[in-house]
Structure 1
Amino acid sequence: MNQKLSIDESFINKLTSILKVNFENENFGVSELADEIGYSRSQLHRKLKDINGKSTSQFIREYRLERAMELLKKNEFTASEIAYRVGFTSPTYFNTCFHNFYGYPPGEVKNQRTISPPKKTFSKKILAIIPVLILVGLIIFNETVNKANGLDENLKKSIAVLPFVNNSTNKENLFFCNGIMGGIRDQLSKIPEFTVVSRRSVERYRNSSTPLKTIAKELEVNYVIEGHVQRIKDRAIISAELIRVDDNKILWSDRYDEDVSEMFTVQANVIESISSNLETIISPNLQNELSAIPTQNKTAYEYFLKGEEYRFKANRAFQKHDVWLELINKAKTSYELAIKSDSLYSSPYIGLAFTTFERYGDYVGDNNNINEVLHLTNKALELSPNNSLAYNIRGNYFLLINEDDKAILDYEKSLTIYPNNVGALLNLIRIYKRKNNYKEAILTLKEAEKYAQSRGQLIGLYTHYLEFYRTLNNSFFVDYYFDKIFELQTVKRFRRDRVYSFIQFRRYNDALNYVNKNLLKDNQQRNALLGALHMHKRDFKKGKIYWEKCYNQVEKEGVNSLASRTVYWGYGMCLIRDGQIEAGKELLRKQIDLYNTLLSSKESLDTPLSYYQLFFLHAALGDIEKSNEFIDKFEAANGWLFWNFVLYIGADLEAGLFEGDLEYLQASIKRGEKQLEEAQNQIKPYLPSTPPTIKD
């Protein structure tokens, strides 16, 4: 043990001696230190990790900070001068690193050493002011430099990781190339100061000759990362560069020639290099994640990357159901093979949880395996206790099955690890609204607004804003936020809630135009929505045409859309209005069985919606007592505020879709309207009379 300690101490002393000679050189980094000591970067990273738990870049940075402390105590130079003397690229970044390491800024070093006598009060005030003046001066200086460089302050650390070029002879290695690129992008997105464009947004520039400045303008970024990957058997050659687009300056570039088992270390080096060059601190949680080696099994890693690629390609919004399902199943198989190769590798369990959630989250029918998500995320957390993503997906599962308190705990754990987890914040808003805690919901929305910068995150923000305005029954602002959402979409996506908002405001023709324009494929969702809209227009003959098509698709495929979940009710009601009473009632009974199955198995995203449908269904079958029973259950489940049903039900009543005890229902609606008024009173103080200005 003592011999190992001596060897480790000797190794650290050698590194320190090398840094002592080179610490003033800001360009002396990980690669240079590794070359001097005679190690590869990956070997040095692992060696330091084993000795003291630090990455190489962290070791270098902390050495420079220790030398800076020595110089500050001598009081011979200003903090700005010392920043450059110890190899930092700017005083601002030095101040940030110093404060993060020591817990106070460089200007406070003297105060930390001695306590001035009381009569020196004036001098202490001056000393207290000086760091502030220096900081203000640095801010002004940086703003001037940024303006001179043409950098947009709102986009200062906005990054697009462009698709890496696959230089491998075997083009099937594209999944490996994309996996390296995706891993870098995902880790960068965990740094709150960075705005990182989504992979889907950058995919359109794959194999594109579009100039970088044009790409940057379209994606609204100041920096891009380009890269190349070449796979040669068990080795990978990776080159990457960080480019400031305004002046086309390469701020950092590097080349790695490593064994495939070293890819985690390579990605960590890339993240640390980019963070350092953009003068950004990596949080301890992310530092620990970057230092970890999730698996050393090459086969498991490759299967995991294949699963990620299949899951990325699966996009149900633009694919036929069978195409989407095939890709999801391929992803599932790949993750399972990864687990078979290394059962202690946590990432495939999370990938498998994602595919299971995507496969069964909206699925209605036999063999629904949604509960597997809980088992998979529990296993992932057993292997990787601080995995924010695992907490997040488990929170999504609890949200799906209406276990809100458990979901809150998981989202809060996820946020403890990465406070900028906008997805967790947005889902917490949903839960607070379900609990009628609209004040907490809006305060959480304001918290999410601090971190939301990507298009997807802003769309989530705007969605919550429009839902608050739907609760206020304000169609003008609902339209405003939908317009903002559609402006942000680089690929136009259909929004089912746009249809429901049109129904709430009785704008059926607008809803029909929206569906016909944006849902061109003949699928369950299109037919169900068109059938329902024609029913609301009291055109049951035309509604029957679409519900019949939807019914045939469901019989063949199973229910694969929330919209088509009501297929037996819609088609059954149309048959009854067409005189086919027994056939229609048989379908209504089938719809009741479906909802009872959902309620008993806890596989329903929306228990109140099930109750809502059931009191309509039992009324249509003439069982008024049962209908009233479900009105009570619906009200007890906070149904009137769920999806704004208290404002939505008027459209159903006007269409003549309720055939039960109207007086009993109206009494319940009045109580719902009182709840609505209370919710509106919570919301109004926090929402401006005009739409707030949000980054877009």
Structure 2
Amino acid sequence: MNFKKFFAELKRRKVYNVAVTYAVVSWIISQIVTQLTSTFEAPLWVAKMMTVILIAGFPVAIILAWAFEMSPEGMVRTTSDAAKTNPYPPGKKKPLTGKLFIGILVLIIIGQFAFYKFNQNESHADKNEEVSIAVLPLKYQSQDLEKEYLANGAGDAIRVHLSKIKGLRVTPRISVEQYRGTTKTARVIGDELNVAYLLEGSFFMVDNKVLLSVNLISTEEGVQVASKEYNRDYNEIIQVQSEVAKTVAKEISVEISPEAMERIETIPTENSMAYDHFLRGNEFYFKANSLEQKNKEWMQLLDEATVSYNQAIKTDPSFAEAYIGLARVDYKRNLDAAILEDSYLDNVILMANKALELDPNLADAYSVRGLYHTRVYKPHLAVSDSKRALEIDPNNIESMYNLSFVYRNFDLNFRESLETLQKIEVLVHSQEELWRLYGEFAEFYVQLDDVEKEEYHLKKQQDLKPGDIVNFWFTYARTKRMKECIDYIDTHQKEINQYRVSSLAGCYYFGGDYQNAIRYYDAMEQLLQEENFNYAVVIRDSHRFGHTLIETGNNEKGMEMMRRQIQINKRLIELNRPDYGLIYDLVGIYSFLGQKEEALRWMDLFNEGEGWLKYGSVYSLVQIDPLFDSVREDPVFINWVETGGKKLEKARREINTYLEKENN
């Protein structure tokens, strides 16, 4: 076969032109059909059938182009004499064969495609930025109340799946828990949480059958958008939860990327018993985090969570999320209580790494590993893990907070830290979330020793939740406003617990009223024995308790507590777990004890490590701290404090300049 002659014949018979023209026109038709079927909600088979017809028509068009062509006399065979010469007047070409015509069609298609993709991406971005949803606690309708954790677990799973969708803001459980059994309307809840949609529903289980009903509600209109029931065996509940998430995404028109879809559809375990243990562990963990303070009940709940997660792993050793549960529990339990031990948080990193070995796409594993790296002073790894968590789960607020903490405490990059908090502010709107965020803003300005902005954000916290504890007492104490300090505690911390008595002890101590201070330090010691360990008291305040004992005549016990604090602080520094507040405390203890050389040594270490910037609140504290009363006139001490003031002033000026530019 002479291929050169064959291809020349294809060109003469205009087969190439027909093929290109057919492909172009078919593509246009397919786009029109797709738009029309979408607009008129026609069945999917209509578009599929048209695609089949267009594909089948292609070889027919090629055959006809090979055999026939148009002429002034009508259709003629391409082998005839009429076809071999151009039968049209001079300057006129055969129809549908002009290169200009085909070129114009191709340009139209390219233009339309580019316009469509640009608008599609823009509209999806706009939509996804605006779309927000809260998954309310599912109503548990079974009689066995001990199984309510199954309903809570189903709601949590739906919430987690939705959180994986980029651009969709999902309110966390801690913020929606207040609406359990509420009579508030969808519009009111939507306004309070600032969300566009609510997902509510019920969970009913009898024997091994589950009926899960969900309703999607538009909060703006206060009307139901969609409703669906899932009647399945309990061992299918994992698949059902991902189905709900996909249905919700479709109804509210948010696009799920292929990566997010894969994660949503991933089954964490095929073993329903392992999943049951896991959900039980999650419930214990959630209840522990909901407590106001760490006490015996808190520790017991974490112990129960540990047992449940271990049972889940024993039932299914490949259940990655159960290992994350253990990592979280150990992080919470050992962060304070085991800080003086060599192992400290070792089990956290082991469990997080095990989870990632089993599934490298678990945002929570990266998140808890990032927290671990922060606490063991590996900031570069903390940043890497936190950013990876946010790539997988854009709603992982915990990782954003961790990034903000690392930026300001390790890198001294206050602007980056503040920008991260501002990003969180865009994402969160519920009362619970904002309360925490304003607390973080307050901590940011505490570090800069900007008392005005610190108080502003503490006030915003207090306005949101008047009944909750806000750290106002320390602000009042270190700025020598003792009456306001005590009045605030009496008004807002009425319950007798470790927080109240330790706060009152601090107020009186910094005010120089040692007689009242010792009353509350003694009460705090009694509560510690009754309730359990408290980091702030046992690790951080032994020296102030000791100082108060010395001032009230108990020199022996007071000196014992002073020595205890020195040992604790030096042990933490030896283990590479210091914060610069501990070094500041050593300066204060040695100053009080009259050991000037030791005090100077720790002053130098504090300066070298940029302690004034990493623990900024001590600048205002040192002005009134009783431990430094004996050295206030010392030139070295004066110079030390002035150095800190200049560094903080420079940092505040840079942040204020940034904020002014932002506001303009």
TM-score interval w.r.t. the shorter chain? Answer: 0.7 to 0.9
Shift of 1:323: 1.8
- Tell me the distance in 1 between the aligned counterparts of 2:524 and 2:25: 75
**438-447 or 536-545, larger mean C-alpha shift:** 438-447
1:613 to 585, 607, 610: 585
Alignment of 1:73 with 2:28, yes or no, is yes
CA distance 1:366–1:201, change in 2 (3 Å): same
CA distance 1:121–1:329, change in 2 (3 Å): closer
CA distance 1:568–1:466, change in 2 (3 Å): closer
Alignment of 1:380 with 2:352, yes or no, is no
Q: SS of the counterpart of 1:179?
A: helix
- Tell me the distance in 2 between the aligned counterparts of 1:115 and 1:586: 96
CA distance 1:421–1:198, change in 2 (3 Å): closer
Alignment of 1:479 with 2:434, yes or no, is no
Alignment of 1:263 with 2:237, yes or no, is yes
- Tell me the distance in 1 between the aligned counterparts of 2:424 and 2:307: 35
Alignment of 1:508 with 2:508, yes or no, is no
What residue identity is the alignment partner of 2:654? Q
CA distance 1:77–1:527, change in 2 (3 Å): same
The equivalent of 1:627 in structure 2 is: 599
**649-658 or 499-508, larger mean C-alpha shift:** 649-658
**Deviations, residues 278-332 of structure 1 (Å, cap 9, x unaligned):** 0001233321211211111122111110011111112464367122222121111
The equivalent of 1:27 in structure 2 is: none
Flag the structure with larger Rg: 2
Contact 2:216 2:227 in 1 (8 A): yes
What aligned pairs does 1:358-437 form with structure 2 within 5 A after superposition?
358-363=332-337, 369-434=344-409, 435-437=411-413
Shift of 1:240: 1.4
The equivalent of 2:536 in structure 1 is: 562
Contact 1:524 1:561 in 2 (8 A): no
What residue identity is the alignment partner of 1:670? E
2:416 to 423, 440, 451: 440
Q: SS of the counterpart of 1:255?
A: strand
**Deviations, residues 598-642 of structure 1 (Å, cap 9, x unaligned):** 33334x4x5211111112122333322222222222222221112
Q: SS of the counterpart of 2:412?
A: coil
What residue identity is the alignment partner of 2:367? N
| Aligned alpha-carbon RMSD (Å) | 3.8
1:328 to 302, 311, 315: 302
Q: SS of the counterpart of 2:652?
A: helix
**Deviations, residues 23-81 of structure 1 (Å, cap 9, x unaligned):** xxxxxxxxxxxxxxxxxxxxxxxxxxxxxxxxxxxxxxxxxxxxxx9975338749854
- Tell me the distance in 1 between the aligned counterparts of 2:138 and 2:362: 26
- Tell me the distance in 2 between the aligned counterparts of 1:137 and 1:407: 33
Alignment of 1:673 with 2:649, yes or no, is no
Shift of 1:172: 1.7
- Tell me the distance in 2 between the aligned counterparts of 1:156 and 1:599: 47
What residue identity is the alignment partner of 1:400? R
What aligned pairs does 1:453-472 form with structure 2 within 5 A after superposition?
453-470=429-446
Q: SS of the counterpart of 2:373?
A: helix
Q: Normalising to structure 2: TM-score of the pair?
A: 0.78
**Deviations, residues 148-185 of structure 1 (Å, cap 9, x unaligned):** xxxxx999633232221223242221111111111112
Contact 1:265 1:290 in 2 (8 A): no
Q: SS of the counterpart of 1:535?
A: helix
Contact 1:471 1:680 in 2 (8 A): no
Alignment of 1:280 with 2:254, yes or no, is yes
- Tell me the distance in 2 between the aligned counterparts of 1:509 and 1:116: 88
The equivalent of 1:340 in structure 2 is: 314
CA distance 1:683–1:207, change in 2 (3 Å): closer
Q: SS of the counterpart of 2:612?
A: coil
**388-397 or 523-532, larger mean C-alpha shift:** 523-532
**Deviations, residues 395-423 of structure 1 (Å, cap 9, x unaligned):** 11221232222211211221232344333
CA distance 1:129–1:352, change in 2 (3 Å): closer
- Tell me the distance in 1 between the aligned counterparts of 2:453 and 2:566: 37
- Tell me the distance in 1 between the aligned counterparts of 2:517 and 2:25: 80
- Tell me the distance in 2 between the aligned counterparts of 1:432 and 1:138: 34
Q: SS of the counterpart of 1:426?
A: helix
What residue identity is the alignment partner of 1:627? A
The equivalent of 1:586 in structure 2 is: 560
CA distance 1:549–1:362, change in 2 (3 Å): same
What aligned pairs does 1:184-195 form with structure 2 within 5 A after superposition?
184-195=158-169
CA distance 1:125–1:252, change in 2 (3 Å): closer
- Tell me the distance in 2 between the aligned counterparts of 1:115 and 1:195: 50
CA distance 1:527–1:689, change in 2 (3 Å): farther
What residue identity is the alignment partner of 1:649? L
**516-525 or 470-479, larger mean C-alpha shift:** 470-479
- Tell me the distance in 1 between the aligned counterparts of 2:247 and 2:362: 23
Contact 2:128 2:167 in 1 (8 A): no
Shift of 1:365: 7.1
CA distance 1:326–1:520, change in 2 (3 Å): farther
- Tell me the distance in 1 between the aligned counterparts of 2:658 and 2:403: 17
Q: Percent identity?
A: 27
Q: Normalising to structure 1: TM-score of the pair?
A: 0.75
Contact 2:331 2:348 in 1 (8 A): yes
What residue identity is the alignment partner of 2:620? Y
**Deviations, residues 82-118 of structure 1 (Å, cap 9, x unaligned):** 64257699xxxxxxxxxxxxxxxxxxxxxxxx99999
Contact 2:631 2:637 in 1 (8 A): no
CA distance 1:456–1:399, change in 2 (3 Å): farther
Shift of 1:501: 2.9
